[in-house]
Amino acid sequence: MKQHYPFKNKPVYGLSFVFGNLSSFLCSLSGNSCRMVDFLIKKIINLSPSLYFLFFVLLSLHSTFSFSQIDVINNGLPVRNSNDSVIIMGNLTHQNNGSIANSGSFYISGDLINNNPSGTIFSNGTNGWLHLNGGMQNIGGNTSTHFNNLNLSGTGVKQLNGVNTEIEDTLALNDREFASGDNTVLVMATGTGVVTRSNGFVSSTNDGGLSRNTLSTSTYSFPVGSSAGTSLFRPVDVTPNSVTANTFKVRMANVNATAEGFDLAVKDVALGEINPNFYHRINRVNGNSFADITIYYDSILDGDFTAMAQWGTTSQWENLGAVATTSNYGFPGLTKTGIYNFSTTPFALSSEVNASVFVPNVFSPNGDGFNDVLRVRGKGIEELQFIIFNRWGEKVFETSDVNSGWDGTQNGEPMNLSVFVYVLKGKYIDGKFFDVKGNVTLMR
C-alpha cells in the first residue's frame, strides 16, 4: 500500500516533519491507542538526531505495518535540514516552490520529481547531500533540479527523465550508471576531483552528455560510457590550455558514427579505418580556450589506433595530425594537443595511412597510355617540391602539386632518351619531413 504524506503547513526543521505526519497513520496500523502512538513519536522526536534513521528503518520493517513506500510531497513550503539524515522510503515531489535548505543528507529510495515553477528545490550554497539509494530511479518533473551534492548508490540505473540537472559541487557516481538520455548533467564546481567513481559512468544519447565547468590547466575527467548493446566505458580527459572559464561537454556514442550522420567512408586520404564501434561528441559549450583531448580505448576489444579524427566543416572525417600515447583508467589512450576548433563535435579514433614516398626510376612518354607521365607516388603526403634536372644541371620540370607530373618535354618539345636527376622534398601529414634524390631514365 502506497501512502502519500505532505509536509506540514509551516517551515520544518530537522527530522520532526517525517514523524509528525505519521501519527494518524500509525494509529490506523498499530494495535495501540493513538495516545500511545503520540507519546512514542514525541519521545523519538526528542531523541538524538542520530537515532532518527534507525527508528524510520525499524518502522518500515515492523511486521504490524504493510505499506511498501511512503511518498512525500512538499506543497510549497521551506524545509531546513541541519546536519540530520532524512530518509524517504518512496518518491519526493516538490511543487508550488517548495524548497530545502540542506546541510545534512536526504536519502530517497524512489523518484525525485520537481514541479516547482521557479525550479528551486535545494538552496544554492548549502553543502548537503541527496542520496539516490533505491533501485532504478528517475529525476524528473517539469523543471531542472539543482543539487548541492549528488550521490548515486543502491541498485539500478539512475536516469534523467526529460530534464537537465546541475550539481553545484560533487557528483559521486560510485558503481552506478547515470543515464542522462538527450539531456545534460552539468557539474558546476571547477575542481578537478569533484566527479568521483568506482565503476560508474554517465551515459547519454543524441546531444545529451556530461558537462563540466573548468577554471585551470589541470586535467578534467569525463567518465562516459553506455550500457546500450555492448556495455562500454570509454572515458575522455580534457586539459584546458588556459585558466580562463570554460565549459566542456562529452558524450560517448555507443554506435557506428555513420548511423548518426557521420559517414565513416567519407574521410581524407590520410586516414585508414575509423573506429566503427563508438565515437565521442566533445564540445566546448562556453569559453575559447584551446584544450588537449585524450580518448581512451580497450586495445584488446577495440583494436589499436594511431590517429584521431574529427568530423570537419567540410563534412568529412579529417586527420587531426600527430598524437601522443598515454594510459589511464587501465586503458591506453591517444592525446591530441591544442585543439581549438569545436564547431563540430564528433571525434573518433582511427588508424593512419602509413606515410611513404617514391619516384619510379623509368618512364616512357610515348603516348601509349601506360607510364607516360612521371609522378611522385606515395601516401600521407601533405606538401612537396619536385624538381627534375638534365645531365648539365638545367631544370626541365618543377611542381608542388602531388597530382602533377612530367610528360618528358621541355618548352613543349619531346626530349630524347636520357638519364635525369630529381630532387624531392616535402612533409608528411604527421609532420615528418622527407628529402629524396635519385635518377630516372626517359625511354621512348
Answer with the residue of higher pLDDT: 344 or 79.
Answer: 344
Q: CA 185, CA 163: separation in Å to the nearest integer?
A: 9
Check residue 236 and give its pLDDT: 98
- Whether the per-residue pLDDT at 242 is higher than 80: the answer is yes
Do 380 and 417 fall within a single domain? yes
Q: Is residue 174 part of a domain?
A: no
Same domain, 46 and 104: yes
pLDDT band at 28 (very low <50, low <70, confident <90, very high): very low
Is residue 37 domain-shared with residue 136, that is, in the same domain? yes
Q: Is the dihedral of CA 66, 71, 73, 74 positive or negative?
A: positive
pLDDT at 380: 79
CA atoms of 312 and 320, how far apart (whole Å): 10
Q: Which of 384, 262, 366 is nearest to 314 (CA)?
A: 262
Q: What's the rounded Cα separation, in Å, for the pair 314 and 337?
A: 22
Q: Which residue has the higher pLDDT, 366 or 109?
A: 109
Residues 318, 312: contact at Cβ < 8 Å? yes
CA distances from 63 to 2, 89, 217, 218 (A): 16, 16, 57, 54
pLDDT at residue 270, rounded to an integer: 75
Q: What value does the mean pLDDT take over residues 355-367?
A: 90
State how far the alpha carbon of 313 is from the alpha carbons of 259, 310, 344, 346, 353, in Å: 19, 9, 7, 11, 22
What mean pLDDT is predicted for residues 430-440?
A: 90
At residue 168, the pLDDT reads 97
- Domain boundaries, position 436: 356-442
Instruction: Please check whether residue 92 lies inside any domain of the structure.
Output: yes
Greater model confidence, 61 or 280: 280
**Cβ-Cβ contacts under 8 Å for 428 (sequence gap 6 or more):** 355, 357, 380, 381, 382, 434
Q: Which three cell numbers stand for residue 309?
A: 579524427
Please indicate, yes or no, whether residues 331 and 400 belong to a single structural domain of this protein: no
* Residue 269, pLDDT score: 75
Count CB neighbours of 124 within 10 A. Answer: 10
| 204: in domain | no
> Quick check: is 187 in a domain?
no
Do 6 and 148 belong together in one domain? yes
Which of 331, 353, 375 is where one domain is finished? Answer: 353
Task: Determine the straight-line distance between the first and last CA of the chain, rounded to whole angstroms.
Answer: 97
**Domain for residue 191, yes or no?**
no
Concatenating the DSSP letter of every residue in 72-112 gives EEEES-EEEE-S-EEEESS-EEEETT-EEEESSEEEESS-E
Whether residues 34 and 145 share a domain: the answer is yes
- Region 381-390: mean pLDDT is 94
378 vs 386, residue with greater confidence: 386
Mean pLDDT score, 27-31: 42
330 and 341 assigned to the same domain = yes
Both 346 and 228 in one domain: the answer is yes
What CATH number does the domain containing 422 carry?
2.60.40.1220
| Strand partners for 246 | 214
Tens-place pLDDT, residues 155-207: 999 999 999 999 999 999 999 999 999 999 999 999 999 999 999 999 999 99
pLDDT tens for each residue of 260-308: 999 999 998 778 899 999 999 999 999 999 999 999 999 999 999 999 9
Give the domain-ending residue among 300, 327, 353: 353
| Residue 133 · residue 108 · CB < 8 Å | yes
Distance CA 8, CA 341 (A): 54
Helix (H, G, I), strand (E, B) or coil at 162: coil
d(C-alpha 350, C-alpha 380), whole Å: 14
Contacts of 424 (CB under 8 A, 6+ apart): 357, 359, 376, 384, 385, 386, 387, 434, 435, 436, 437, 438
> Does residue 270 contact residue 380 with C-beta atoms inside 8 Å?
yes
Q: What is the pLDDT of residue 378?
A: 87
CA distance 60 to 67: 8
In this prediction, residue 429 carries a pLDDT of 76
Measured distance CA(3)–CA(123) in Å, rounded: 27
pLDDT of the residue at 45: 36
Q: Is the pLDDT of residue 54 over 70?
A: no
Measured CA distances, 336 to 126, 380, 428 (Å): 38, 18, 17
pLDDT of residue 125: 85
Residue 207 lies in a domain: no
The per-residue pLDDT for range 327-359, each reduced to its tens digit, is 999 999 999 999 999 999 999 999 877 778 999
Query: Same domain, yes or no, for 324 and 362?
Result: no
pLDDT tens digits along 107-160: 999 999 999 988 889 988 889 999 999 999 999 999 999 999 999 999 999 999
pLDDT at 412: 87
Per-residue pLDDT at 286: 97
On whether residue 198 sits in a domain, the answer given is no
Cβ-contact 303, 287 below 8 angstroms? no
- Close Cβ partners of 192 (under 8 Å, ≥ 6 residues apart): 216, 218, 219, 220, 221
More confident residue, 36 or 77: 77
Q: Which segments of 98-206 are extended strands (E)?
A: 99-102, 105-108, 112-115, 129-132, 137-141, 145-147, 149-152, 158-160, 165-167, 171-172, 177-179, 184-187, 195-196, 201-203
Mean pLDDT of the chain: 85
Any domain includes 181: no
| Band of residue 87 on the pLDDT scale cut at 50, 70, 90 | very high
pLDDT at 94: 92
Lowest mean pLDDT among 9-13, 195-199, 372-376, 440-444: 9-13
Residue 120 in contact with residue 99, Cβ under 8 Å?
Answer: yes
Of 328, 353, 378, the domain-final residue: 353
Residue 190 main-chain phi, psi, to 5 deg: -95, 5
Cβ-proximal residues to 170 (8 Å cutoff; 6+ apart), any chain: 149, 150, 151, 189, 194, 195, 196
Q: So what's the pLDDT on residue 55?
A: 36
Across residues 370-381, what is the average pLDDT?
89
Domains held by the chain: number: 3
126 with 238, same domain? Answer: no
In this predicted structure, the answer to whether residue 64 has a pLDDT above a threshold of 70 is: no
Same domain, 158 and 227: no
**Same domain, residue pair 424 and 339:** no
